[in-house]
Structure 1
Amino acid sequence: MVDGRLADPLEEELEAEEHAPRLRLSRRGFVVLGVLGAAVVGVLAWVVFFSSLLDVRDVAVQGATDDKLTADQVRAAIGGLGDGPLARVDLDAAQRRIEAIPRVAGAEVWRGWPHTLQVKVTQRKAVAAVKGDDGQFTQMDAAGVSFATEAAPPAGVPVVELRLSQQAKDADGVISRPQLVQGAVAVAAGLPSDVAQRAGALLVHSYDDIELQLSGGATVRWGSPEQNDRKARVLVALLAQKGTNYDVSAPDAPAVSG
């Protein structure tokens, strides 16, 4: 009882806490704690960056889906960068090495703790095969990048052939052969998948005269590699009509004959 009043237990407890002696660290105590903390951080850093406890033990590769680009090829490109502690792997350097593989369009590399280097690759996909003077076929993707040369074109990919008119040959200094090839590849890249599957060849006579040959003997006069999207849509509609010759060179005035 305080001053004739019953004491509140909670007030007594708070008052006792206020008057209780408080634990205070001396300067030496702070120094000791600092040293211990630094030691713990140092040990952790050594474990992560320098010891063999968190070494790379596996390189997991995603996206290498066929025998043209294998996981082993990707691992070989990484080489010694994938050795040692996972934390010390130079991810950017590993990515650059992988993307130097001709069939790789892009790559992502990241750490999969505790022991795995994770890699995801995007393969280049051929939209056209350019027939060379030596009879070999150079595969090119939608960006116009050549990435493989083989004795035969891939299945379902149109073959680009230069059958230049004399006028086109005379204009070689204005529009070069590589530019003509790039134009034909742009046409191939814009073809709808069902049309691309039917495409046998893209014959380049000049910049303004590209001819698409379809399976079954039908031909498509494409014209120049301009308005490709518009021409592709018009061609899909035209193919619903019977004919052997389709003309989308002027997509606003298409024609079917034969």
Structure 2
Amino acid sequence: MRRPDGFDRRTDEPVEAAADAAGGSSLEALRRRRDAALRAIAAHEAAATPRRSAEREPEPEREPRRWALSAYADLDDGADPTPATDGPEPAPLPDEERGSLAQRVDRAWREALREQRRLDREEARETRREAKEAKRARVRRERAEVRRFTAARRRQVRAALLTGGGLALALLLLVGLVWSPLMAVREVRVQGVERLDAAVVQEALGDAMGEPIATVTEEGVAQRLSTIPQIESFRVDVVPPSTVIVHVVERRPVAIVPTASGEAVIDAAGVALGPVDESTAMLPRLDGVELGSAEFEAIAAMLVAVPTSVLEATATISAPTESDIRLSLTSGQTVLWGGADESRLKADVVAALLATQDPAVAVVLDVRAPEHSVVRGS
């Protein structure tokens, strides 16, 4: 920065000497310097002030600060700054008033610039604070708009989360309840048995007692009941919290066959159901028929269609061929059955013919053609 003329003079020299050394234009130069300083301050203030936000209301234009006017006030009054030589000696001046006029002006100018910078910094801080407040307000407004437009989606997500959480909780409770001792098997009921003892079935399922009721399956029950040949099929019902009901369908015994260990009862499939007892002693015996042969398959198809009353009245069944089945009744009568076709109709015809015949008379009932049955003497 260029100092005013006469700045370098000694402080103990009189003002008049400085003025003479600088020439008659020192006051005029100081006035120009003052004007230049004022213009520089105004330009600096205009450049340092940030542009205000569009949302804020425009403030009225302020006059530029004129901090240096007081420093240059004595330049316009035309007074001589040189102290008078007559009279008592003046009191010593403070440090800020010592020195030449140029030095005092320079100090005042520097003070004005420092004050201006301080005010600029405060205004900048205030502007930044207002900008931050405006940014926070804008962010709040944007978030409010986002929440308003996504409220329905948030409700859907919340409902989905609540539903999923409820289902998961219910599943956990169900799993915990199923595997708890409260849901263990403590009772096995057997239904549908006639010739088979229910205790045998319950004993076969005894190892299922105490297991979780959810683990009881038909495959597991079938594996346990496979040792009981009298059971043809079954159905399992699970009744929470601790009951298992087994509905049994027994195999129907239809004939007696000789075995290595004695006579045994079989069903139409040729499955041995056990030894002969009081309930099966009236069944017919197969004479000369091998299990699994074609003759046995024909006899089995016939036995399925024949009612129990006819079977109990039959003593033996023979079949030289699969189309020549013969029944020997306990009354001494003989029935020529023929093949296994139309067994149901043949059974009805035999029952009707037996109702019309004298049991004491040995006759032959030929029902090989059931619609044209023949009764003849032996």
Taking structure 1 as the reference length, the TM-score comes to 0.69
> What residue in structure 1 maps to residue 325 of structure 2?
210
The whole-number CA distance in structure 1 between the counterparts of 2:249 and 2:287 is 28
Tell me which residue corresponds to 1:148. Answer: 273
Letter in 1 for 2:368: S
Partner of 1:230: 345
Paired position in structure 2 for 1:183: 298
Q: For 2:227 and 2:340, how far apart are their aligned partners in 1?
A: 30
Q: Which is richer in strand?
A: 1
Conserved? CA contact 2:316–2:328, under 8 Å: yes
Q: What are the equivalent positions in structure 2 for 1:1-258 lying under 5 Å apart?
A: 37=166, 40-41=169-170, 44-66=173-195, 69-98=196-225, 101-132=228-259, 134=260, 136-142=262-268, 144-150=269-275, 154-162=280-288, 178-239=293-354, 240-242=356-358, 243=361, 244-258=363-377
Once residues 198 and 270 of structure 2 are traced to their aligned partners in structure 1, the CA distance between those partners, rounded to angstroms, is 22
Secondary structure of the 1:221 match is strand
Question: How far does residue 135 in structure 1 lie from its aligned partner after superposition?
Answer: 7.2
What SS does the corresponding residue of 2:214 show, helix, strand or coil?
helix
Report the counterpart of residue 44 of structure 2 in structure 1. Answer: none
Relative contact order, higher structure (CA 8 A, sep 6+)? 1
1:137-188 CA deviation, whole Å, 9 max, x = no partner? 342324x241324256813321111179xxxxxxxxxxx9622122223223
Cα deviation for residue 124 of structure 1 reads 0.7
Percent identity, please.
28
Deviations 1:184-229 (A, max 9, x none): 2322322233222211111222223322111221111222223212
Change (3 A) 1:90 1:48: farther
Distance in 2 (CA, whole Å) between partners of 1:90 and 1:247 is 51
Moved more, 33-42 or 182-191: 33-42
How far, CA to CA, are the matches of 1:192 and 1:58 in structure 2?
37
Rounded to whole Å, the distance in 2 between the matches of 1:45 and 1:65 is: 38
Cα distance in 1 between the residues matched to 2:257 and 2:212 = 45
Q: Look up the equivalent residue of 1:103 and give its one-letter code.
A: Q
Separation in structure 2 between the aligned mates of residue 129 and residue 46 of structure 1, nearest angstrom: 51
Counterpart-to-counterpart distance in 1, 2:188 and 2:265: 29
Contact 1:158 1:200 in 2 (8 A): yes
Separation in 1 of the partners of 2:170 and 2:249? 39
In 1, Cα distance between equivalents of 2:246 and 2:287: 37
Per-residue deviation, 1:70? 2.8
Gaps of 5+ in 2: 1-153
- Distance in 2, matches of 1:43 and 1:209, equals 67
**Alpha carbons 1:136, 1:149 under 8 Å: kept:** no
One-letter code of the match for 1:200?
A
Read off the aligned partner of 1:228 and give its amino acid letter: S
Q: Is the 8 A contact 1:47 1:53 kept in 2?
A: no
Rounded to whole Å, the distance in 1 between the matches of 2:292 and 2:250 is: 27
Greater gyration radius: 2
Between the aligned partners of 1:107 and 1:31, the Cα distance in structure 2 is: 43
Conservation of the 8 A alpha-carbon contact between 1:99 and 1:107: no
Look up the SS of the partner of 1:84 in the other structure: coil
Structure 1 pair 31/122, CA: closer, same or farther in 2 (3 Å)?
A: closer
Amino acid of the structure 2 residue aligned with 1:65: E
Higher percent of residues as helix: 2
Task: Give me the CA root mean square deviation.
Answer: 3.4
Whole-Å separation in 1 of the counterparts to 2:217 and 2:185:
12
Q: SS in structure 1 opposite 2:182?
A: coil
Contact 1:95/1:109 (8 A) holds in 2: no
**Equivalenced residues, count:** 218
